[in-house]
Structure 1
Amino acid sequence: MTDSLHEQGAAAPVLDPSFSTEIVADGRADAPEAVLAHDVAAEPAAPEGPHPFAKLGLAPELVAAVRDLGYIEPTAVQTKAIPMAMPGNEEQDASAAGFVDLMVSSQTGSGKTAAFLLPVLHTLLLQQQREEEEAKAEHARLAAEAAARGEAPPKKPRRVNPTQSRNFKAAVPGALVLCPTRELAQQVAHDAIELVRHCRGLRIANVVGGMPYQLQIARLQNANLVVATPGRLLDLQRSMQIKLDQVRFLVVDEADRMLDLGFADDLAEINQLTIQRQQTMMFSATFAPRIQQLAARVMREPRKVQIDSPQQKHANIRQVLHWADHASHKRALLDHWLRDPAIQQAVVFASTQIECDGLANDLQQAGFSAVALHGALSQGLRNRRLMALRNGQVQILVATDVAARGIDVPTISHVFNFGLPMKAEDYTHRIGRTGRAGRDGIAVTFAEFRDQRRIFDIEAFTKQQFQPEVIEGMEPTRRAPTAQPPRGGAGRGR
């Protein structure tokens, strides 16, 4: 997922991704400087019409941020979902204050993150402006009454430091985005900060596990939008550090992964805590039956938006399969590929944490700039290694599936499946780490002959058949299987 802002437009820039695990931005000083996607032409440009994102009905501040980020045209999922997610369009009825619940399915790299962030931020911005106008009108009324009595006008309340204990109040965000992994939550929060750079006073907070509570509690103060993983969010709610009864917009990102990781009970609890919300949006790779069941419990007659499916081919990603005789053969094939000078940066996926650490150490010993990333590492170390990857200080990231969603580095040119994914659907999320921002990518899978069943499962899920390739001098000694064996039958019984 994840589908971040860098996934749009071939000329999308690599922005400075420096951000902490707990992210707060108010749209003024905290957001980084804009980086233009291309140099400004020397000769004056012709007058431009409305920006394509403005045609979606978005606030001018958000359109300005999108323009600064260098994005020209909204993607298909954004064109369809954004207008439906905003209040008052012709497809909506008057129930639930003009909002409808949405179930959105679109493949990795299609821009789903902006598809839910932009309408939520737009509505929060309108609410903030309305509250400011009401506050000004109330102050003007009180001033007029005071003047009629011959008294001095009332003073505006002084601004206090919310980080001081005497000024502490539990956070009451208006919007909540739930993500299954810390890395994805960080990426979504970072994208939200990029989008509120022109929105004065709109604040974003990121809540994930593995970080000090006190720092996160301080960063939560006055947050309008909270991006969180369910576990840490509920910990803070139970300790009365955050109240969720004022949440009006709930987004569940990567709902299928949420259920895979066992968050069903947490989602049910959060559903009850935010029961007064006006809108729920759920983003998932598929509309599988379990996702339909979850939607039935937490949504009101949701509208479905399915732009494409995981089975549709990644047109800009070349997919390669190499059959190997054994683990050492796989390791030799990987080493051959990694010495290709065309590789900018790469992600090598391992099946287990032990395999991940061992492979990263082997690559370091072989002279590669490589680091490991998996769930057993501390959050601080995971942050530093991801930052090193984003800054170009590391060429190869060796990761488990914890990194399959939430990594958005446009310069990742190759993805290697050294260990096969446990679930066939995770294959599409893995290879979606390359070919981002309109670039071309290569996804290489290494499989031993004992893994042929899992390869067939991936082919069945993606509805695409691998065309095995060989490297001269490194051919497997066994003949590669060419067709999926029949399931069941007498042969299976024997």
Structure 2
Amino acid sequence: MNSFDELGLSAELLRAVSEQGYSQPTPIQAQAIPVILDGRDVMGAAQTGTGKTAGFTLPLLQRLSSLPSVRGPRPVRALVLTPTRELAAQVGDSVADYGKYLPLSSAVIFGGVNINPQTAALRRGVDILVATPGRLLDHANQRNVDLSKLDILVLDEADRMLDMGFIHDIRRVLKLLPAKRQNLLFSATFSDEIKALADGLLDQPVLVEVARRNTASEAVAQTIHPVDKNQKRQLLSYLIGANNWKQVLVFTRTKHGANRLAQQLEKDGLTAAAIHGNKSQGARTRALADFKSGKVRVLVATDIAARGLDIDQLPHVVNFELPNVPEDYVHRIGRTGRAGNVGEAVSLVCVDENKLLRDIEKLIKRELPKVVIAGFEPDPNAVPEPKEKPQARPPRRRLGEKPKTQGGERPSGEQNRRRRRRSKPKNPATQAA
């Protein structure tokens, strides 16, 4: 398909699309938009960077604008559930940008920010609500939102929502919705759990698929740099400086590691910022804005914080540490090489991570090229560090059970009475006598 004009979108939507600088739909947009406009349920297999957000936002806006209006206070007609705050904000921006010439209102709600402005917006009434599951349930419990007249439900990045433990929240949300509605589910991967969720949610869905399961983007050049663990930070700074990388997204496994690395890179003279779950939403939004504008050169992120980040033409992604879950490697490198652009993914791998690397190569069904950087050659005699054995946990006390004494026995009634007598304050009048 050569043009958005052929998809059956309204003049108002085509005008907004043109103003965003787009003229040709991506493959998933070309497949999904006509099916959604037809009112069918959709099961979409798409990784980030494929244009899936516009793929469901555009037909959603058109369908709502053509439905008869509801009398009285305006109820939510479309709900988009996302796993993270960042993704919710980006979907909300997409709804606002594409729906600017339509008489529809929208709101975005997520945790980590003041709930009162969200409550005010919901009570005024919105047509399209973009939300994270936890904060949506908070509002539902406070009776701030009416979901009984919903027409369209979208689960975006459903695989990540399940990974983050939102399955129970999703089921609670589904109980608040009318039985008759259109359902759209998008996921980068399809585990058995996702398939089970889809089976219970979707009614004769149309499968829209633009990427094979767990396939790393072919538009991304992937390279492994073997290096000792204690040389990783120096090698990262060297690569950024020697190659004059202007915009680099770096992944670490932990929040503490992200903070520490960002501080070390600052000492190396590189502007850097960290985003992770412990950062306030304001700090995360500022860091992302500074990175997009070029004010910050290196953005260090954990997997959860970076999920759904929408950064146009991001040229470089670095795995400072390989992820524990191989599928997360695919998600990480999917931040670059998007929308037809060529990207580069570099992984700094120490001897401790060789098994993780083998698992990734098994998943993507290819061996990644390994390039040793002069001056950062790994020690050929290095061996993986032994994993620490987890410390034995003390036995759990049953509810209402009294603590044991150091000898291992529970304190007897007589011991307790002696203890209370010893701790009882003496009568000052008796002491004076």
- Normalised by the length of structure 2, the TM-score is 0.84
RMSD: 2.1
Matched, 1:125 2:65: yes
Q: Which amino acid aligns with 2:315?
A: S
Contact persistence 2:51–2:339 (CA under 8 A) = no
Q: Secondary structure at the match of 1:131?
A: coil
Of 82, 96, 118, 1:193 maps to: 96
Q: Which amino acid aligns with 2:136?
A: L
Q: Residue in 1 aligned with 2:207?
A: 304
Q: Deviations over 1:421-440 (max 9, x none)?
A: 12111111111222234322
Cα distance in 1 between the residues matched to 2:144 and 2:48: 34
Deviation of 1:480 (Å) = 11
Matched, 1:230 2:126: no
Contact persistence 2:303–2:332 (CA under 8 A) = yes
Cα distance in 2 between the residues matched to 1:408 and 1:246: 31
Contact persistence 1:207–1:232 (CA under 8 A) = yes
Cα distance in 2 between the residues matched to 1:105 and 1:466: 25
Matched, 1:64 2:2: no
Q: Deviations over 1:112-169 (max 9, x none)?
A: 1111111111101112xx439xx9xxxxxxxxxxxxxxxxxxxxxxxxxxxxxxxxx9
Q: Which amino acid aligns with 1:65?
A: A
Of 318, 321, 328, 2:230 maps to: 328
Q: Deviations over 1:331-378 (max 9, x none)?
A: 222111111354121111110011011001101111111011000111
Cα distance in 2 between the residues matched to 1:102 and 1:436: 23
Distance of aligned partners of 1:265 and 1:311 in 2 relative to their CA distance in 1, 3 Å threshold: closer
Of 319, 339, 343, 1:417 maps to: 319
Q: Residue in 2 aligned with 1:271?
A: 174
Q: Residue in 2 aligned with 1:461?
A: 363
Q: Residue in 2 aligned with 1:255?
A: 158
Contact persistence 1:170–1:242 (CA under 8 A) = no
Distance of aligned partners of 1:171 and 1:241 in 2 relative to their CA distance in 1, 3 Å threshold: farther
Cα distance in 2 between the residues matched to 1:249 and 1:389: 34
- Between 63-72 and 339-348, report the one with greater CA deviation: 339-348
Q: Which amino acid aligns with 2:146?
A: K
Contact persistence 2:215–2:330 (CA under 8 A) = no
Contact persistence 1:345–1:413 (CA under 8 A) = yes
Q: Residue in 1 aligned with 2:40?
A: 100
Cα distance in 2 between the residues matched to 1:294 and 1:113: 21
Q: Which amino acid aligns with 2:59?
A: P
* Percent of residue pairs identical: 40
Cα distance in 1 between the residues matched to 2:99 and 2:244: 36
* Residues 209-228 of structure 1: pairs in structure 2 closer than 5 A: 209-220=111-122, 221-228=124-131
Deviation of 1:210 (Å) = 0.7
* Residues 405-444 of structure 1: pairs in structure 2 closer than 5 A: 405-444=307-346
Matched, 1:387 2:254: no
Q: Residue in 2 aligned with 1:398?
A: 300
Q: Residue in 2 aligned with 1:337?
A: 239
Q: Deviations over 1:307-348 (max 9, x none)?
A: 2224434232111101122x2221222111111354121111
Distance of aligned partners of 1:170 and 1:231 in 2 relative to their CA distance in 1, 3 Å threshold: farther
Q: Which amino acid aligns with 1:120?
A: L
* Residues 22-101 of structure 1: pairs in structure 2 closer than 5 A: 52-87=3-38, 99-101=39-41
Contact persistence 1:248–1:276 (CA under 8 A) = no
Unaligned stretches of 5+ residues in structure 1: 1-49, 88-98, 136-168, 482-494
Cα distance in 2 between the residues matched to 1:436 and 1:362: 29
Contact persistence 1:258–1:264 (CA under 8 A) = yes
Q: Residue in 2 aligned with 1:166?
A: none
- Between 300-309 and 59-68, report the one with greater CA deviation: 300-309
Count of paired positions: 382
Q: Deviations over 1:228-283 (max 9, x none)?
A: 00000000011001011111100000111011011111111111111334210100
Q: Secondary structure at the match of 1:104?
A: strand
Distance of aligned partners of 1:321 and 1:126 in 2 relative to their CA distance in 1, 3 Å threshold: same
- Normalised by the length of structure 1, the TM-score is 0.74
Of 207, 232, 257, 1:355 maps to: 257
Distance of aligned partners of 1:330 and 1:119 in 2 relative to their CA distance in 1, 3 Å threshold: same
Cα distance in 1 between the residues matched to 2:65 and 2:370: 52
Higher radius of gyration, 1 or 2: 2
Runs (4+) of structure 1 exceeding 4 A deviation are: none
Cα distance in 2 between the residues matched to 1:449 and 1:170: 61
Q: Residue in 2 aligned with 1:366?
A: 268
Cα distance in 1 between the residues matched to 2:370 and 2:196: 38
Q: Secondary structure at the match of 1:211?
A: coil
- Between 294-303 and 230-239, report the one with greater CA deviation: 294-303
